[in-house]
Structure 1
Amino acid sequence: MRIVNMGGWPLSHEDEQAHEPGGEPLWNESHYFDFVSADGDLGGYVRLGLYPNWKRAWFWACLVTRDGGLVAVTDHEAPLPGGPEPVIEGPGYEATLSTTEPLSTARVRLDAPDLALDLEWRTAGGVYGYSLTPRYEIPCEITGTIGGAPFHGYGERDHSWGVRDWWSISWLWSSGRLEDGTHLHGMQANLGMALPWPAFRVPPGGEIEHVAGFSASTAFDGDRPAETVLRFPGTTTTVRPIAFAPVTLTSPEGAVAEFPRAMCEFETEDGRRGHGWTEWHQPPGWREHGWHPLT
């Protein structure tokens, strides 16, 4: 398995485990799990965010369909789970997140009203470590059951730890798989400076590779993203939302940020298509202060 580590910290199998918290109030350890069927008719994501100094966990899970269906669990006051495999319990739901083989396979089980998942994420092509923050992304093939019915699709999972201030920085994150088997990923944040953004490609049946020179731009319909153009050297990919599963985030001081996340269709300039997930984070004042880099 290829590991591309762009950061100054050593990425290893041990990073699949929990990390020692820092002392900052917004220190966070986050796990994301995305999935979408190959035809783009069904998808979803699960996120666990641990805030030990805020004495809570955030748990999100959603399932969307092309025709606009949405089922979601959003709990911003879940108790912090214990043990090596987090078990998260809240009103009417229970979820288990486990790493069955470090950097190779992980499993999510969720039992909630109208939303039952038992899915496995298997690494496809390798692991990509960020340079800006302790974080890694893993493109995956996903199998299992949704509501008891068999599911097969593609997506990503990621794991990060450190301070995450949702109320001061805007960003775009996008991950998809094309019909020829190519995985694409790009992330861009507004940090007030030009930086080499985290971006990678996995060619069909190949190994993960860093892509330099990534950029993105987004057109909005009001505050809702309507279309994003991802620019990778040698190819441009247009991303259009199919179904939104947004989340509203409130800080300890009462500031509100919006997190419009969507299952999307991807189309390259040479006509290849695919599906994935994209997020456009909008902190307070994201338009008025020119924070958002994508307009």
Structure 2
Amino acid sequence: MRIVNKGEWPLTHEDEQAHEPGGEPLWNESHYFDFVAPDGELGGYVRIGLYPNWKRAWYWACLVTKDGRGKTLTDHEVPLPGADLTLAGDGYQASHHTTKPFHSVRLRLASANLALDLEWRTEGGVYGYSLTPRYEIPCEVTGTIDGTPFHGYGERDHSWGVRDWWSISWLWSSGRLADGTHLHGMQANLGVALPWPAFTVPPGGELEHVEGFSAATEFDGDRPAETLLRFPGLATKVRPIAFAPVTLTSPEGAVAQFPRAMCRFETEDGRRGYGWTEWHQPPGWREHGWHPLT
């Protein structure tokens, strides 16, 4: 298993498990699981956010279709789970089990309007961030959705540390092209240029870090209309197909919007694929240095 670690902390199999929480109010531990069908007809994502100093967890599960239909489960008052990440809320139960560290994870959700039984299996390696304790893993995703067999692709990630949803904006994007190429890039709006986390995986190959990644977005009002991901030698246009947004309210009452969307990806050489992109919008987000599409 290839591990590309850009940070100052060595990734080990133990990092697939829970971490000792810090004392900061906004310390959290986060797990994302997203997926999309190869034809872009169906996709979704699940997020678990553990907030030990708030004594609760957040749980999101979203399913969307290309024609705009969707199902959403959002619960911001979940009792903190144990180390096995089994959660239970009003009308649903969910479990998340690492069957083999850095290789495979099994996720199950049973609720009144959405049932998932999916496995994420690593494709190409593991990517450790340089800016924060976090890693991303491109995956093949198989299982069932509402009892129907599913085969697709996506990413899962795991991060821990302070995350301030109400002061920092960012773009995150991950997709897979029809030829098997995986693409990933992230850029925070901090007012300075940094070596942003970015990687590609060639068809059937191993994950490689990419230097010089940047992104620019065109908005229609507050809604993202198109993003250009600038991988050196591989400029890629990203257009939302179906949104699955979440609204986030801080303990002090500040409101942030999180417009996450299943997207179509198209490279400058004409290759196409699908994936997920998020454009986080805290209060005053337009003043945070978003780069317009030119």
TM-score, L = length of structure 1: 0.98
> Pairwise mapping of residues 33-112 of structure 1 onto structure 2 (< 5 A)?
33-82=33-82, 84-112=83-111
Does the 8 A contact of 1:24 with 1:163 survive in 2? Answer: yes
Q: Per the alignment, in what secondary structure is the counterpart of residue 14 of structure 1?
A: helix
**Which residue matches 1:157?**
156
Does the 8 A contact of 1:167 with 1:283 survive in 2? Answer: yes
**Which residue matches 1:26?**
26
Does the 8 A contact of 2:21 with 2:52 survive in 1? Answer: yes
Does the 8 A contact of 2:7 with 2:132 survive in 1? Answer: yes
Q: Per the alignment, in what secondary structure is the counterpart of residue 285 of structure 2?
A: coil
Does the 8 A contact of 2:191 with 2:289 survive in 1? Answer: no
Q: Following TM superposition, by how much is the alpha carbon of 1:5 offset from its aligned partner in structure 2, in angstroms?
A: 0.1
Any gaps of 5 or more consecutive residues in structure 1? none
Any gaps of 5 or more consecutive residues in structure 2? none
One-letter identity of the residue aligned with 1:71: K
Does the 8 A contact of 1:266 with 1:274 survive in 2? Answer: yes
- 1:294 corresponds, among 274, 291, 294, to 291
| Residue identity (%) | 79
One-letter identity of the residue aligned with 1:128: Y
The CA deviation string for residues 170-202 of structure 1, in whole angstroms up to 9 with x for no partner, is 000000000110000000001222100000000
What is the alpha-carbon distance in structure 2 between the residues aligned to residue 258 and residue 175 of structure 1? 20
Does the 8 A contact of 2:136 with 2:157 survive in 1? Answer: yes
One-letter identity of the residue aligned with 1:42: L
One-letter identity of the residue aligned with 1:294: H
User: Aligned residue pairs: how many?
Assistant: 292
Q: Following TM superposition, by how much is the alpha carbon of 1:157 offset from its aligned partner in structure 2, in angstroms?
A: 0.0
One-letter identity of the residue aligned with 1:141: E
Q: Following TM superposition, by how much is the alpha carbon of 1:235 offset from its aligned partner in structure 2, in angstroms?
A: 1.1
**Which residue matches 2:235?**
236
Q: Following TM superposition, by how much is the alpha carbon of 1:293 offset from its aligned partner in structure 2, in angstroms?
A: 2.3
**Which residue matches 1:133?**
132
> Pairwise mapping of residues 7-22 of structure 1 onto structure 2 (< 5 A)?
7-22=7-22
The CA deviation string for residues 46-94 of structure 1, in whole angstroms up to 9 with x for no partner, is 0000000011100000100001111010001111011x31111111111
> Pairwise mapping of residues 248-263 of structure 1 onto structure 2 (< 5 A)?
248-263=247-262
Q: Per the alignment, in what secondary structure is the counterpart of residue 175 of structure 1?
A: strand
Q: CA RMSD in A?
A: 0.6
Does the 8 A contact of 2:190 with 2:289 survive in 1? Answer: no
> Pairwise mapping of residues 178-193 of structure 1 onto structure 2 (< 5 A)?
178-193=177-192
Q: Following TM superposition, by how much is the alpha carbon of 1:113 offset from its aligned partner in structure 2, in angstroms?
A: 1.4
Q: Per the alignment, in what secondary structure is the counterpart of residue 262 of structure 2?
A: strand
Divergent runs of 4+, >4 A: none
What is the alpha-carbon distance in structure 2 between the residues aligned to residue 254 and residue 115 of structure 1? 30
One-letter identity of the residue aligned with 1:11: L
What is the alpha-carbon distance in structure 1 between the residues aligned to residue 228 and residue 191 of structure 2? 21
